[in-house]
């Protein structure tokens, strides 16, 4: 995946997580940390999804610091609804 630090087995940098992502659209590949809510499982992400409120279930990697100093998560995949 371009633009993301590879996973480091000794740290939690750029780990993959299940999450709920708040965004007006789903066309970006990276999201600010304040728009990402980490959850415990894919099932929890799907259960917490609220598309009408722009809250979508996904698998993300991160966090990584951008060149501007902002913490970002990178989209791995969007989860389909149950």
| pTM attached to this predicted model | 0.81
The confidence score (pLDDT) of residue 3 equals 55
CA–CA distance from 30 to each of 43, 49, 62, 75, 82 (Å)?
22, 18, 10, 6, 24
The confidence score (pLDDT) of residue 72 equals 92
- Under DSSP, is residue 54 helix (H, G, I), strand (E, B) or coil? coil
> From CA 75, how far away is CA 12, in angstroms rounded?
17
Instruction: Give how far the C-alpha of residue 19 lies from the chain's centroid of Cα atoms, to the nearest Å.
Output: 6
In this predicted model, what pLDDT tens digit does every residue of 5-51 receive, in sequence order?
555 555 556 789 999 999 876 678 899 999 999 999 999 999 999 99
């Amino acid at each position: 995946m371009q633009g993301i630090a590879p996973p480091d087995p000794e740290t939690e940098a750029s780990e993959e997580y299940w999450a709920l992502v708040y965004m007006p659209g789903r066309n970006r590949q990276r999201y600010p940390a304040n728009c990402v809510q980490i959850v415990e499982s894919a099932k929890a992400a799907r259960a917490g999804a609220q598309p009408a409120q722009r809250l979508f279930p996904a698998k993300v990697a991160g966090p990584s610091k951008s060149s501007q100093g902002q913490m970002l998560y990178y989209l791995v995949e969007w989860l389909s609804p149950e």
